Amino acid sequence: MTAHRFDPHRFDIVGFDLDGTLLDTLGDLAVALNHALGTIGREPVPQAEVKNLVGGGSGLMLRRALALTGGEEGLDFDALRQVLIAHYGDNIANHTALYPGAAEMLDDLAASGTRIAVVTNKPEPLAVKLFDALGLSPRFASVIGGGRYPLKPAPDALHAMVEQCGGGAAAFVGDTTFDTRAARAAGLPSVAVSFGFCDAAPEALEADAVIDHFDELIPALARL
């Protein structure tokens, strides 16, 4: 791995999306989603297809899955979403891990004095529980999840991220249009990761830079 510890960049704060950006959560999300579908007699969605359903929060993921498996007419959607969330919360880190190079990248950002934050549409208690389970919580100056502010692509949570981190120049890293649109609305430059749960081709996410591995993030930030 090429070391980028001392590459200069102008950002005091670098924020990250969670699912499909910092963490590959697909395995645990797929298990929880298919558990919920199974309680209403639906066929499971293959994990490779679940990847295309993620983004915009658990409710949107579930609605997309129901559309694939027979629709939601006559269902108590809110109750089913709670079944999904409860199962996910009880099995939150069985198959989840940082993407390759993420740990080293976070180390390098921290060594440069950059404040690191997370803004996710995942409900905040679940985001905190997941980071605690993986021993990652001490890395972050701020973790903002769904339930406190309007979900991305609204910019509110990104504005709060900057405020909670003490202000300064900030950039945001994500994998979907929810992330890049939120960054643009908040007036922040964005970096898209091509390896996540992209809801469009990486070059179509309209980020200021696209990276294929976290080895490339700090050099990309230095060019922005």
SS3 call for 73: coil
Active site residue 78: no
**What's the pLDDT tens digit per position in 148-184?**
999 999 999 999 999 999 999 999 999 999 999 999 9
Of 3-12, 19-28, 104-113, 154-163, least confident by mean pLDDT is: 3-12
Among 27, 18, 4, smallest CA distance to 109 is for: 4
What integer pLDDT is reported at residue 102 of this predicted model?
Answer: 98
- The residue annotated as part of the active site, out of 12, 17, 107, 208, is 17
- Whether 112 has a pLDDT exceeding 50, the answer reads yes
Q: Distance (Å, rounded) from C-alpha 127 to C-alpha 146? A: 9
pTM of structure: 0.92
57 falls in which pLDDT band (50, 70, 90)? confident
What integer pLDDT is reported at residue 4 of this predicted model?
Answer: 47
What integer pLDDT is reported at residue 7 of this predicted model?
Answer: 65
Q: What is the mean pLDDT of the chain?
A: 95
Q: Distance (Å, rounded) from C-alpha 194 to C-alpha 42? A: 31
